[in-house]
């Protein structure tokens, strides 16, 4: 229904009433950044990272991070997260298709020079 701001408001209100996050709240933490992608992308990344702190085996979190970075044209990071998601579920069709698009986008637009310099530092 494209009421992203209202959805964000409700998710934030819900999370504000929770004294401490546990794995049980991971779906709520993940759903908030799914709405934030359309409103405030950097904040969405922060919530996905919080979700990763709750569970490092969540396909939704890795795909969400990948997709968010992909929307920001940070293809190298998106590709990394798509690969992590596919490690959890190798036959995920959406993730496979999005990885293919991210690889094509990176080929068309090139690699971010900052990311490339980090790669060179690691291998030297």
Domain count, the chain: 1
CA-based nearest residue to 94, from 58, 52, 55, 66: 66
For 111-120, the pLDDT digits (tens) are 665 554 444 4
The CA-based dihedral angle spanning residues 25, 4, 71, 14, taken in that order and rounded to the nearest 10 degrees: -20
For 94-116, the pLDDT digits (tens) are 999 999 999 999 999 876 655 54
CATH code for the domain of 81? 1.25.40.10
State which residues form the domain around 12.
Answer: 4-123
């Amino acid at each position: 229904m494209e009421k992203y701001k209202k959805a964000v408001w409700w998710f934030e209100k819900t999370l504000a009433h929770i004294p401490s996050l546990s794995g049980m709240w991971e779906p709520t933490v993940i759903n908030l950044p799914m709405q934030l992608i359309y409103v405030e992308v950097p904040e969405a990344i922060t919530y996905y990272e919080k979700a990763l702190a709750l569970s490092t085996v969540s396909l939704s979190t890795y795909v969400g991070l990948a997709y968010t970075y992909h929307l920001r044209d940070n293809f190298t990071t998106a590709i990394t997260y798509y690969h992590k998601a596919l490690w959890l579920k190798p036959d995920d069709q959406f993730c496979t298709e999005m990885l293919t698009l991210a690889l094509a986008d990176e080929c068309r637009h090139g690699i971010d020079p900052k990311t490339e310099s980090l790669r060179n530092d690691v291998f030297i």
